[in-house]
Structure 1
Amino acid sequence: MSLEVSNLCFSYGNRLVLDNINFTIPNQQLLSVLGPNGVGKSTLFRCILGLLNGYSGQIRLNGIESKNLTVKEVAKLVAYIPQSHYPSFNFSVFDMVLMGTTVQISSFSNPGKRQIALAKAALERLEIEHLKDRGYAQISGGERQLVLLARALVQEAKILILDEPTANLDFGNQIRVLTQIKSLVKDGYTVIQSTHNPDQTFYFSDTIMAMKNGKIIAYGAPSEIFTEDLIQNLYGVNVQIQSLYDDKFRVSIPKSIVDLEL
């Protein structure tokens, strides 16, 4: 399942937010969109999801122009996992996941055996089946992100869009969530995520798209474009990139810390 964006531009009034965005994500790839707040990452996602239609350019989902698709047809191709979610009611974890199957049934139908089986399988896959009877509002932030990921899986869409999936999570939960996301890519999903963490971006991504002022300023494999100059350009901080374990992992360290240690 591929995602192709061509010559995409979008404005809020007179303010240009997306300026001629072009990229393609082939099947079974994880693209991380890296950049500071306010560069257009969330607006880009809303355009892809069909929530914003006043754009110019083209967005193709598996070769189909998204403007020609209904909301339900888009939902069968793309699932969205928000950064955080606080429902009005304390639904059980199982019911939260089961809600992802609504695209498969009519407005006046109840989930059937197939939908229930999908929900159970998603919980087991993400190793959170022990939470199924817990209230969604009463579990940790990391567990909630896994629940939202499970809800996206039962939607059976093969393109996943994640808005900062590890925001506000502790280090252990960040790794657990990203490991599950990476395993989904290996199993045939196409994933695009926004992030503020350069180190995680380098380690988990197949491709990085760096954005600034509504434009793409760098695009490619992490090892090719991930530089000290890029981080300085994006975030206005000086860093030194250190390579460990024969370049299998790299970490960005602020220069002031490096100097202090030296």
Structure 2
Amino acid sequence: MDADTGRDNGLKFSRAALVSDTLFGEDGFRLKPRVWTKSTMKLKDESQRVPSTSAKEHLPYFTGHTKHGPFVADLIDYQRLSKMRSTYVGHPEQLVTNARGVEVTEEATGFWKYIHEGMIHPSFLLHATVTGRSSSRDPNAQNFPKRGKGNMKEVVKAFRRVFKAPDGWVILEADLSQIELRILAWMSKDPVMLEIYRNGGDIHSATAAAANGLTLSQFAALPPEEREMLRFQAKAIKISTG
């Protein structure tokens, strides 16, 4: 327990170590990791690699597991909800009573840190990323939840309703829609990629179908959740050139 705030900082599923031990440890579910943390993924000794606990990049691989799939799905929802509460919602500056009975000031968290005169003003950067993409900070306005999956759909919808334009203004949202891959197709003149885009197709779905030995018709006939998962996994497939 924290001596200043009086809060319990013990076993929490927001701790990566606990999640890793539960899912991949010898005393846990013993699932076989597929994605490693960026700092350990290139280590030659696999025993030194640390499994990723990312709800976006790794955990979805196990939602279809016969025995532990439902638990992993609930864990993903929990992690996403925890991130929304801490990163996007938070609380204003407030007085709290610590374990010693003394009132202390707890700083604002989440979006409350960035509200000025009732509005949020992110800073947009044009030259901060290695890839050349634009970015934003304080807060990161390009990383707000969009649609949500599973039980998170209604939560995300409720969150997005907090954004309202001032009178006489509108909120405009734009998506570049695979712009890097489209430029790659144009520059390389790859016939397969060009055909997909010219026909209004989805390159990630096409990749997922090919990687799993399916035709596009067979892929489209899969259950929505399975199709979405295979498409998500296909985004990680790297293109190899000679």
Q: What TM-score do the two structures reach when normalised by structure 2?
A: 0.25
**Rg: which structure is higher?**
2
Q: What TM-score do the two structures reach when normalised by structure 1?
A: 0.24
Question: Whose RCO is larger (CA < 8 A, sep 6+)?
Answer: 1
**Which structure is higher in strand share?**
1
